[in-house]
Structure formats: C-alpha cells, structure tokens
C-alpha cells in the first residue's frame, strides 16, 4: 500500500487538515501588548476551548493569535479565524457567522459545534472591545 506522508488518513475535510497540521498564528501576544483584545469560548460538551487574540491598530486588526484545546476541527477553526481576521475592521468582524466558518472549512454537521466555538470566541473579542480600539 503506498504510504504518502501526511496524507490525512482520518479523512478530515482538506481545509481542516491543512490548518490543523500547520496551525499558522498559533500562540499568544505577550501580556500588556498594546491594542490586544482577547476573547475566549468553550464548549463543555465537546471539552474544547478556543482563545482568540486580535491586535488592533486604527480600527483594524493588525495581527492575530490563537490557542486551542480540542479536536482538530476546533484547532483549525482557531487558525482560520486568526488568519482571516487580519486586515478586517469591526464591522467586518461582526459579520462573520458560524455558517460561513462551516462553509470555509467544509465542516460536517456532526462537527457544527466547532464552528459555533469559533463564532463565540470572535463574539467574545467584540464584546470586550473598547469604544475606540485603536490606541
């Protein structure tokens, strides 16, 4: 049987697998970094937690980081959100839905909670946003 490296043997959706394996923007900003707003969400049922950190400059996201504990899909959701958020303003951020996340990452029905986790983490960031996020 040909054994190709890193060939997604568990048949995750391709975007999920790629983001899980490379996890761009994983990590966090040093405490006290100016302009950073942190949001966190967790789903008890699925035992997963997602922390999203967005660093704002003049009303737009200049950089982003995430940390995640959970299944590969929830990790991929964090990675995708962090990448997507860069360059967006608050209005654009607020427009993101779990449905969009599911579409982008090809998340199947039984993993829908992972997309909700992403939406919740982003909401948590927006909720904690000061009136004027740019310092």
| Beta carbons of 54 and 89 less than 8 angstroms apart | no
Nearest Cα to Cα of residue 51 among 36, 69, 34, 35: 69
Q: Is 3 in the site for other proteins (CB under 8 A)?
A: yes
Q: How would you list the strands of the sheet with 48-57, edge to edge?
A: 36-43, 48-57, 60-69
Binding string, residues 30-69; x marks residues near other proteins by CB under 8 A? xx-x------x------xxxxx-x-----------x-xxx
Q: Is 85 in the site for other proteins (CB under 8 A)?
A: no
Residue 15 binds other proteins, judged by CB under 8 A: no
How far is it, in rounded angstroms, from Cα 8 to Cα 22? 13
Distance separating alpha carbons of residues 129 and 42, to the nearest angstrom: 19
Using the rule CB under 8 A, which residue among 13, 39, 72, 118 binds other proteins?
A: 72
Question: Is 111 one of the binding residues for other proteins (CB under 8 A)?
Answer: no
With CA atoms as reference, report the closest residue to 20 among 100, 110, 106, 120. Answer: 106
**C-beta closer to other proteins: residue 65 or 102:** 65
Positions in the binding site for other proteins (CB under 8 A): 1, 3-12, 20-23, 26-31, 33, 40, 47-51, 53, 65, 67-72, 75
């Amino acid at each position: 049987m040909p054994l190709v490296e890193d060939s997604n043997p568990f048949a995750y959706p391709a975007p999920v697998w790629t983001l899980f394996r490379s996890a761009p923007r994983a990590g966090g900003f040093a405490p006290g970094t100016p302009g950073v707003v942190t949001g966190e969400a967790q789903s008890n049922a699925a035992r997963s937690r997602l922390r999203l950190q967005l660093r704002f400059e003049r009303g737009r996201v200049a950089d982003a980081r995430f940390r995640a504990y959970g299944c590969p899909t929830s990790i991929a959701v964090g990675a995708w959100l962090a990448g997507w958020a860069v360059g967006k303003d608050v209005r654009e951020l607020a427009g993101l839905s779990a449905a969009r996340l599911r579409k982008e990452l090809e998340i199947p029905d039984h993993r829908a909670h992972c997309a909700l986790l992403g939406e919740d983490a982003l909401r948590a960031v927006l909720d904690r946003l000061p009136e004027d996020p740019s310092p």
